[in-house]
Structure formats: C-alpha cells, structure tokens
Structure 1
Amino acid sequence: AEGTAPICRAYLEHGLFNLPQPVKLYYIIPAFRYERPQAGRYRQHHQLGCEAIGDADPVLDAEVIELMYRFLSSLGLSELLIEINSIGCRQCQPGYVEALKKYYSTYRDRLCPDCKVRLARNPLRLLDCKEVSCQEIITGAPKITDYLCSECQTHFQSVQKYLTELGISYQLNHKLVRGLDYYTRTVFEVKPEGKGVQIALGGGGRYDNLIEELGGKPTPAVGFAAGIERIIIALKNQNVIVPTLPKPVAYVACLGTQAKLEATKLVSRLRHQGIAAIQATGDKSLKSQLRQANSLDVKYTVIIGEKEVANETAVLRDMSSGEQKTVPFNEIASLLEKR
C-alpha cells in the first residue's frame, strides 16, 4: 500500500481539480506490504508524503525535493545524499526500454530469478535490482538520459538548475527508477551517506499520467513519500537527540466545589491563549496538589480557594523560589505569558 494513488482518487472524487492549480496536499498513513521483513522494511510501517497536483512546471520538482531534504535536515539528520534521474515520458521511454531489453537479453542466463521475470514484464525495474549477481550487469546498462526526448531533456535540465540555485547538492544516478510503475520524468531519493547498503529515507518523482489512468483528465503531478520507521532508524544511527516535549507552565490547584469550577474556566482560558496548563483533579489536599505540581516540574502553581473565588483573585506561586502573590483572575494569563 502507498499514499499517492489514494490522494489522486481523492483529488478526482472531491473535485479538487476545480481549485487553483497546483493543489498541494499531505498525508500520514499506515502502510502494508506482503513481503519478507528486512532491516527498514516491515509488513506494516508508517508513511508521510506531500503531493503537488496540477502543474508540469519543473520548479515544482525542485520544490518537492527541497521540501523533503529540509524536512529531514530539520530533524537533525546530516550527511544526506540526494540522487535524481529522469525516466522520460510516453514518447521517449519505449525506445529506451527496447534498448534495455536488447542489452539484458545477452545476459539472460546470469540474471537472478526476479530479473528474468522483470525482463519480460517490466524492464525498467531491472535497474532497481539489489542482488549482487546483477550489479555488474546494471553498471554496463545504457543510460536513460541518452534516450530522453528534447522536452524531457529540457525539463530535467531545469530541475537541476533550480536545485543548484537553491543550494541543494545532488548526484545523478542513471540506475534510479523507483519501485512504482506510474513514475514519469523526474525521480529522486534521499538516503544517508556512509559505507554499506543505505536504505532510502524517502523518495518520489513525477507521475504525470496517473490521474488520467484513474479516469481523470491529463493532470501532471509530483510528490514524495518518506518512511517514518526508517527516519527513526537513521536518527538512532546518527545519535540524534530527540528534543523533550515542552513542560506545562502552570498547575492550577483548587480547594472546594466553586473553586474547582473557577479553576476549570481558568485552565481553559490559559490553554486558549497558548499557555500549557494542568488542572488538579479529585479531592486532594492542597499539600498533595503542590506535591503533584512539583513532580510535574511546572514553573508556577495557581491556587484558588473559597476566599480567592469571593475576591476573584488567585495565589500565583513560583515553584522554584517559593514566592507567591495574589493576582486578579483577569491578569493571570498575561503574567504567565511574560514569564
């Protein structure tokens, strides 16, 4: 399972083609594959992706590649390698496929069992084989970039120019074809650099024919997907420290039924203003509530009792110094924001 085809169906079913184009969408989904589990490849995994549908401009290819690269970099990952290629279009790809079949036919006896099937059914996937026995054959295979039509050449050159201007380093990889059959023109992957086999953290490309194949009008599109579990593996391999979640700012303690009602309203107002707050629950004593506030490591505790309800005030306690003062209800949020 993967997310691009469902996104394209949603684009058609919900009339997104009536919106200003391109339409830019994202998704986060569980995905499933029926194959032998391996390192970084699971029967069930989770995937995030972004799609730009409705425009063939190569600047979108560069934008999507940059988005994926910046996202992975923002997580703290370094030494990322971007590989790109163009696999042509309906006009030029058939000529390359014939050249590839002709080349591989001379090595038929040396191919792995899967590649013998690929040679007959999907020759482009021959370049994606990971078997050691096929690697030498792949090295000598014709390059698809030598067979691109003038439009695909211009498109691919433009993508490279935009990436260069954006300061995005990349490598050309004529063996890169991706694992799905709907791709056209630009394809790309991002993987961590290093010795040994490196699994791709994410990848994507253009799929200018997919929406038409699903029953829509010819609609160009480009996007990427990334595996969340693979990203987590890379973060661990690079010893990236995951930031801790921000701690709540305030704990609101209360004594009495009416005080709990006021505490509930105060916590709601604080959260609405973007201040993380925790409300005391149950019928714990003030001492127990302060102990809980201390264990939550909050900066401040707001204490509301019967006297405070009557005066429309609360006691604001600094948990580090122990200092406290009485403040009006309507000033608590602004005081916490300043601190």
Structure 2
Amino acid sequence: MSAFSAPKGVPDYVPPESAQFVAVRDGLLAAARRAGYRDIELPVFEDTALFARGVGESTDVVSKEMYTFADRGERSVTLRPEGTAGVVRAVIEHGLDRGALPVKLCYAGPFFRYERPQAGRYRQLQQVGVEAIGVDDPALDAEVIAVADAGFRSLGLEGFRLEITSLGDDTCRPQYRELLQEFLFALDLDEETRRRAEINPMRVLDDKRPQIKAMTADAPVMLDHLSDVAKQHFDTVLAHLDAFGVRYVINPRLVRGLDYYTKTAFEFVHDGLGAQSGIGGGGRYDGLMRQLGGADLSGIGFGLGVDRTMLALRAEGKTVGETARCEVFGVPLSEQAKLRLAVLAAQLRAAGVRVDLAYGQRGLKGAMRAADRSGARLTLIAGDRDIEAGTVAVKDLFTGEQVDVAITTVVAEVISRLGVTGS
C-alpha cells in the first residue's frame, strides 16, 4: 500500500471514472457557453474579508466551514468556499461592468468547505457556475435556470426536480424580518440558534435539524409577504419558465445557504442521493456588487455540483463520457516498425484521432491484449517484413477483419473507417 492517501473528504477521480467526471463538467459548461456565457478563471484563494462580507458572517459557510489561514505575510486568506463573490470581485477589479451588460461568465473548478465528509458531501467539491451581472430582468433569471436544466438533461439526467421561490427585495424583507423574528423569539431556541435569528432569521429556516424544522413548521414564509414589485418579478420568472417548458415546484420554505440572495432563489434536487439531495442551485443577488465596493448592479447565477451530478447519474444507472483511451492502437514488432508506427501515430493525432502504442519489449500476444484493454477499434500491426514491403496490417477489433494497407495510405484509410471529420 502507498504510504500516502488523499486527504479525508477529498475524492480522487481516476480512469475510467475520470472520463465521466470530465464529461459531466464539460457538458454543464457547454450548456452555459451555448447561451453566451464566457469563461473566467478565478484564484483558488482570496482575501478572507471577501467571503465574510459577501457570503455573510451568519452563514455556516463563513462561521464554521471555511479553510482560513495566515500566509507568510500574515494576511488572512481563505480557500474559496463558493464562486460568486470571487466573480463579482473580478468584475469590479477589471471593470467588466463598464462594457456591455449583462456580463455573462461561466467557470468550473474546486471549492473548499470543512464539513463532516459523507456520501455526496466533500471538503473539496467540484462545481460549474455561471453569473450574469448588470441587468435586473426576470427573463434573465429564467434563462439562467433554463441553462442549468438544459445542462442536466444534456447528460441524460431525468429524475431531478427544480424547486423555486422568491426571497423578496429591500422593500418587503425588513417587515418580513421583523415578523419572522417575532415568531422565532417566542420559541425555546438554543443560544446559537437564537443568535442566528438575531443576525439573519431566514437562516433558521434553513436549519436541517429535525427539532428546529418541527418548531418552525408554522413560521411565516416570504412568499406570503412579497412587495408588488417582487411578486411581479417572481410571476414573470415563472411565466418564462412555463414558456421554456422547464418544470418546477414552488417551495415557499426554500432558503439558500448564503446571505446575498434576493428575489429569485432555486435548487435542483435529486431524491436518489438521500439526505444530500441537492445537485445545484442559485439565485439573484441584487446588493452584492455594491456591498463589495462596486457599482449598484444586480446579478443572478448558479453553482452545479459535478460530484453530486455524477452520483445522481449513478443512481439512475447511467454513465456518460468516453472511457476508451484511444481509437487506434499501434502494435510494432520491431524497432524499425516502432519508429514507423510512431510517425503514423503523430499524423493521425494531428488529424484528430486518439492513438496509443505498445511500448516496451512486448510480444504480439501481449501487445494485442493491451490493444483490447485500450478500447481501440482499430489496431495497426507491423514488423520488419511489413515495413520493407511498404505495408501495415490494419485490424478491426470489433469484427476481427484484417487487411494489409500501403503505408502511404494508412492515415486516409483509418480516417475513412473512423469517420473522422477533423479536430
């Protein structure tokens, strides 16, 4: 056994599972790119104050789950627990908001939260996210949600549902806050929960403990106290989703885990995952950019879990991704043949074909076993006599058919058989 292992709560993705990881990540990103979202790459760690101010000090993410440490310059930095605050910081810093609006960005990568590891909950989690910043338009909310829905469906995922609600705006939230606090302070809450109710009472509705959920079952919900503007916004979002054919369930008790959300909030849930049923979610954050020192511009976005989506696909008995490492496998039977097949491999790779070779001093049987394990469709076989004759044997591993092909036409023959149109 190795003397080292991966940190607790941090999954490795190795072949063949890594092919599915890449397919899920790229499939979710492709759905965003088709809707005009451009890629942004973000630092893995940021100034701790960015998350404390942006995410909210009353959240579990900030108060309990962040990986925070002092660097060698005694600056407090934090491994990013989520993506939105970093994107908004980058938009402000680089002046992207001074161009065409909305600024539409997408990203993928690891995020970090110190949680108790369990199925579907990791300390290093992989996400795909989008942010659309600068326009307060319910049609944009609906587009963001539809992009996530399309991403899941492009992977063949079916057994999920979209839950949606509105968290109100600056007009109605203060009155609702007072109403909710009045309800909560009448309960027999523990000290920590009461303190949370004082800072951000909606966080209490997000408490997963059964006793707290039972105590707050009759708590007032934001949907019953929306301002006219917030209600019109929510109704328009739903109308657009209806027009798109995106199915949803209104969940009045839905509370996202971060403080910056306003108006539209949503979550994608898959019951095949058990307790950790969320596979992605997001919402609108109208005050975040101003709070982080930028212009008073609104935003809407989501984060979709790559790890969770893989588990959801597994729960449905589905796989995605190309697990074969190559399409063509070269079997050289001499050093001269190895050099010639290596040149052919390079030519085929340049044409967009995935090619591997048998290395080392393998005999024909061992090399052919390696070819079978590679998942390749075609094998190129050559020895000294073949090279002297100017030919290479092309064997179809699916049908068993084998023919000798002139070296000068091997590339064209392989491309024709595989139907390659170029990379």
When the two structures are superposed, what TM-score results if normalisation uses the length of structure 1?
Answer: 0.86
Contact 2:328-2:356 at 8 Å conserved across structures: yes
Cα distance change on mapping 1:337 and 1:214 into 2, 3 Å? farther
Query: Take 1:220 and 1:244, find their aligned partners in 2: how far apart are those partners?
Result: 40
Question: Aligned-pair distance for 1:156?
Answer: 0.9
Cα distance change on mapping 1:265 and 1:8 into 2, 3 Å? farther
Contact 1:250-1:300 at 8 Å conserved across structures: yes
Secondary structure in structure 2 of the residue aligned to 1:302: strand
Secondary structure in structure 1 of the residue aligned to 2:278: coil
Contact 1:254-1:280 at 8 Å conserved across structures: yes
Query: Take 2:258 and 2:404, find their aligned partners in 1: how far apart are those partners?
Result: 65
Give per-residue Cα distances to partners, 1:151-203, cap 9 Å, x unaligned: 22221111100111111121112211211111111100111247975631111
Q: Which residue of 2 aligns with 1:157?
A: 235
Query: Take 1:212 and 1:261, find their aligned partners in 2: how far apart are those partners?
Result: 62
Q: Which residue of 2 aligns with 1:26?
A: 106
Query: Take 1:164 and 1:112, find their aligned partners in 2: how far apart are those partners?
Result: 42
Alignment of 1:176-195 (within 5 A): 176-193=254-271
Question: Aligned-pair distance for 1:224?
Answer: 1.0
Contact 1:3-1:29 at 8 Å conserved across structures: no
Q: Which residue of 1 aligns with 2:61?
A: none
Query: Take 2:184 and 2:144, find their aligned partners in 1: how far apart are those partners?
Result: 33
Identical amino acids, percent of aligned pairs: 38
Q: Which amino acid aligns with 2:406?
A: V
Alignment of 1:244-255 (within 5 A): 245-246=323-324, 248-254=326-332
Query: Take 2:99 and 2:343, find their aligned partners in 1: how far apart are those partners?
Result: 41
Structure with the greater alpha carbon radius of gyration:
1
Query: Take 1:297 and 1:35, find their aligned partners in 2: how far apart are those partners?
Result: 39
Q: Which residue of 2 aligns with 1:321?
A: 400
- Stretch moving more, 172-181 or 190-199: 190-199
Q: Which residue of 1 aligns with 2:94?
A: 14
- Stretch moving more, 19-28 or 79-88: 19-28
Q: Which residue of 2 aligns with 1:265?
A: 343
Secondary structure in structure 1 of the residue aligned to 2:216: helix
Contact 1:187-1:206 at 8 Å conserved across structures: yes
Q: Which amino acid aligns with 2:129?
A: G
Q: Which residue of 2 aligns with 1:300?
A: 378
Q: Which residue of 1 aligns with 2:20?
A: none
Cα distance change on mapping 1:84 and 1:263 into 2, 3 Å? same
Cα distance change on mapping 1:292 and 1:192 into 2, 3 Å? closer
Secondary structure in structure 2 of the residue aligned to 1:88: coil
Give per-residue Cα distances to partners, 1:267-324, cap 9 Å, x unaligned: 2232232222112333545565445324434322224556666776533233443421
Contact 1:112-1:134 at 8 Å conserved across structures: no
Q: Which amino acid aligns with 2:235?
A: Q
Question: Aligned-pair distance for 1:231?
Answer: 2.9
Question: Aligned-pair distance for 1:127?
Answer: 1.6
Question: Aligned-pair distance for 1:70?
Answer: 2.7
Give per-residue Cα distances to partners, 1:89-137, cap 9 Å, x unaligned: 2232112111211222222xx2244421221111111221222223344
Query: Take 1:336 and 1:151, find their aligned partners in 2: how far apart are those partners?
Result: 59
1:219 aligns with 2:269: no
Cα distance change on mapping 1:306 and 1:194 into 2, 3 Å? closer
When the two structures are superposed, what TM-score results if normalisation uses the length of structure 2?
Answer: 0.70
Select which of 170, 180, 185 maps to 2:248. Answer: 170
> Which stretches in structure 1 are left out of the alignment for 5+ residues?
none
Secondary structure in structure 1 of the residue aligned to 2:121: coil
Query: Take 2:271 and 2:367, find their aligned partners in 1: how far apart are those partners?
Result: 51
Question: Aligned-pair distance for 1:214?
Answer: 1.8
- Stretch moving more, 147-156 or 200-209: 147-156
Query: Take 1:42 and 1:323, find their aligned partners in 2: how far apart are those partners?
Result: 49
Q: Which amino acid aligns with 1:40?
A: G
Query: Take 1:237 and 1:311, find their aligned partners in 2: how far apart are those partners?
Result: 54
Secondary structure in structure 2 of the residue aligned to 1:281: coil
Give per-residue Cα distances to partners, 1:18-48, cap 9 Å, x unaligned: 4433233222232222344455333333322
Select which of 115, 131, 135 maps to 1:51. Answer: 131
1:77 aligns with 2:157: yes
Cα distance change on mapping 1:334 and 1:66 into 2, 3 Å? farther
Select which of 90, 93, 116 maps to 2:170. Answer: 90
Q: Which residue of 1 aligns with 2:358?
A: 280
Q: Which amino acid aligns with 1:160?
A: L
Contact 1:78-1:192 at 8 Å conserved across structures: no
Q: Which residue of 1 aligns with 2:15?
A: none
1:139 aligns with 2:182: no
Question: Aligned-pair distance for 1:337?
Answer: 3.5
Q: Aligned pairs, how many?
A: 337
Contact 1:252-1:278 at 8 Å conserved across structures: yes
1:206 aligns with 2:263: no
Q: Which residue of 2 aligns with 1:129?
A: 207
Contact 2:271-2:277 at 8 Å conserved across structures: no
Contact 1:53-1:221 at 8 Å conserved across structures: yes
Q: Which residue of 1 aligns with 2:184?
A: 104
